[in-house]
Amino acid sequence: MRLRLERRLDVPRPLIWLMPVVSVALALLAGALFLHLTGSDPGEVYGMMLRGAFGSRYGTTETFVKAIPLMLCGLGVGIAFRMLLWNIGAEGQLYMGAFAATWVCLSFPEGPAYLLVPAMMLAGLLAGGVWALLPAIPRAYLKTNEVITTLMLNYVAILWVSYLVHGPWRDPAGLNFPLTPPFPRSAWLPTFPGTRVHVGLVIAVVAAALLSVVLWRTRWGYEVRVIGESAQAARYAGMNVERNILLVMFLSGALAGLAGMCEVSGVIHRLQHQVSPGYGYSAIIVAWLARLNPWAILVVSILFGGLLVGGYAVQLAGIPAAVAYMLQGAILFFVLGGEFLTRYRIRLVVSPGPGPVVAAGAGGDGSPAGTAAPRSAGRGSKGGTREGGV
């Protein structure tokens, strides 16, 4: 009797939705064990996080405030991931968006709100998009590794903003703190009455709607999905892969840039050396956890916004906020592990002797899998079942 793995030909729908939920639960459980081992009371920590994030009106609205940049960046990296373009540079693109929006604001401080805010938005979009194009061009034409180039540009963007707020843009009245003068009211994004939640939330929902329409209802979205499956096949079908790489990366960066604009215009109301506590990195997990589905990205962002706010809440008890990032990483681990179970079915089989793990339909084709069967008996759980005809 042993365990056998079979590749699922068809993943049952409930499993697709159940898997992330169970994964998150298991990750929190593992986190609890870790907290317990390091001398913290997991019940207390989780309780504080939950109360901090969702237990009060203020906490809940703060969760939404933190969720907005996660939504925008998550949508951005999500669309890139669909094409297997690993844009890890949302953080830097966010900073460049914040920089460009601030530049517009500082250049036209007298501008009326109905012109200034859209101009800042446009600047944020363009700056984020162009910042993503820088690594996209060599990715498209030289096949450079975009993981590293997009990531390196994060450091460059953050240092650039640091330079500005420490140097030429520093507020003379700011007691030497690294921040720009506060924005005039006309440069503020409107907020929902009585909260700090700004219209960025609406923008994110609209962006998610547009993305899902584009992805599933347009020719271009179809191309993006096909290239994601196989760039080779897309090329044979006459699709321009290079142009799509540039377009998708621009769009991806533009969304992150918009997140940066929303942060400075909607939340901080100035540029400072730390615009983001790592939204661009968390967005990677958000997008993957949401299985790159735009609507699910919105929902997961709220959960992760809550995790961040909860992280700040536990600081009062002397527990570092880094615990939130640790949990985010752990959640992704469990989701990755859980995906295995959606792709493979584990079967307990009763079979005499070291039977080959080759399915009947594809057996006897003389493949290495078939000939190596006796050796595989001892570790049959490592092998999958060959799909017929593949």
Partner 1 sequence: MDWLLAVSICQAAITAGTPILFAALGEILAERVGVLNLGVEGMMLVGAVSGFLVTVRTGSPWLGLLASLVAGGLMALIHAVLSVGLRANQVVSGLALTLFGTGLSGYLGKPLIGVPAPLTFRPVKVPGLGDMPFLGPVVFGHDYLVYISYLLVPLLWFFLYRTRPGLHMRSVGENPAAADAMGINVVWTRYIYTVAGGMLAGAGGAYLSLAYAPTWLENMTAGRGWIAVALVIFAGWNPLVALAGSYLFGGVDALGLRIQAVGTVVPSFFLSMLPYVFTILVLLVSARGKRRLAAPGALGLAYDREGH
**How many residues belong to the site for partner 1 (CB under 8 A)?**
65
Q: What is the CA radius of gyration of the chain?
A: 24
Asked if 169 is part of the footprint of partner 1 (rule: CB under 8 A), the reply reads: no
The one among 288, 292, 296, 305 contacting partner 1 by CB under 8 A: 288
What is the CA angle 376-380-386, rounded to 5? 85
d(CA 25, CA 143): 39
Least distance to partner 1 from the beta carbon of 144, Å?
A: 4
Q: Which stretch binds partner 1 (CB under 8 A): 203-211, 212-220, 221-229, 356-364?
A: 356-364
The one among 38, 56, 107, 230 contacting partner 1 by CB under 8 A: 38
DSSP-derived secondary structure letter, 386: P
Q: Are 309 and 52 in contact (CB under 8 A)?
A: yes
Residue 61 vs 345, nearer CB to partner 1: 345
d(CA 208, CA 294): 5
What is the separation of C-alpha 113 from the centre of its chain, rounded to a whole number of angstroms? 31
d(CA 62, CA 290): 22
Buried b (16+ CB within 10 A) or exposed e, 235-249: eeeebeeeebbbbbb
Distances (CA, A) of 161 to 11, 96, 105, 130, 228: 46, 8, 15, 16, 34
Asked if 281 is part of the footprint of partner 1 (rule: CB under 8 A), the reply reads: yes
Asked if 283 is part of the footprint of partner 1 (rule: CB under 8 A), the reply reads: no
Asked if 180 is part of the footprint of partner 1 (rule: CB under 8 A), the reply reads: no
DSSP-derived secondary structure letter, 277: S
Q: Which stretch binds partner 1 (CB under 8 A): 15-23, 107-115, 292-300, 323-331?
A: 323-331
Least distance to partner 1 from the beta carbon of 18, Å?
A: 18
Residue with structure tokens 């901080």? 268
Asked if 176 is part of the footprint of partner 1 (rule: CB under 8 A), the reply reads: no
Reduced to 3 states, what is the DSSP secondary structure of residue 326? helix
Residue 12 vs 320, nearer CB to partner 1: 320
Asked if 367 is part of the footprint of partner 1 (rule: CB under 8 A), the reply reads: yes
Strand pairing partners for 3? 348
Asked if 329 is part of the footprint of partner 1 (rule: CB under 8 A), the reply reads: yes
Q: Are 357 and 380 in contact (CB under 8 A)?
A: yes
Asked if 143 is part of the footprint of partner 1 (rule: CB under 8 A), the reply reads: yes
Q: Which stretch binds partner 1 (CB under 8 A): 56-64, 121-129, 224-232, 325-333?
A: 325-333
Q: Which stretch binds partner 1 (CB under 8 A): 103-111, 204-212, 238-246, 360-368?
A: 360-368
Q: 294: closest CA among 226, 358, 221?
A: 221
Residue 54 vs 86, nearer CB to partner 1: 86
79: tokens are 């669309």
Q: Which stretch binds partner 1 (CB under 8 A): 67-75, 136-144, 179-187, 347-355?
A: 136-144
Reduced to 3 states, what is the DSSP secondary structure of residue 384? coil
Residue 4 vs 270, nearer CB to partner 1: 4
Asked if 333 is part of the footprint of partner 1 (rule: CB under 8 A), the reply reads: yes
374: tokens are 């006796």
Residue 117 vs 358, nearer CB to partner 1: 358
Q: Are 150 and 135 in contact (CB under 8 A)?
A: yes
Helix (H) and strand (E) counts in the chain? 15, 2
Residue 352 vs 366, nearer CB to partner 1: 366
The one among 56, 145, 232, 351 contacting partner 1 by CB under 8 A: 145
The one among 36, 51, 196, 343 contacting partner 1 by CB under 8 A: 343
DSSP-derived secondary structure letter, 179: B
By the criterion CB under 8 A, which residues form the site for partner 1?
A: 38, 86, 88, 135, 138, 142-145, 147-149, 151-153, 155-156, 159-160, 162-163, 166-167, 281-282, 284-285, 288, 319-330, 332-333, 336-337, 339-340, 343, 357-358, 362, 367-369, 371-372, 375-376, 379, 382-387, 390
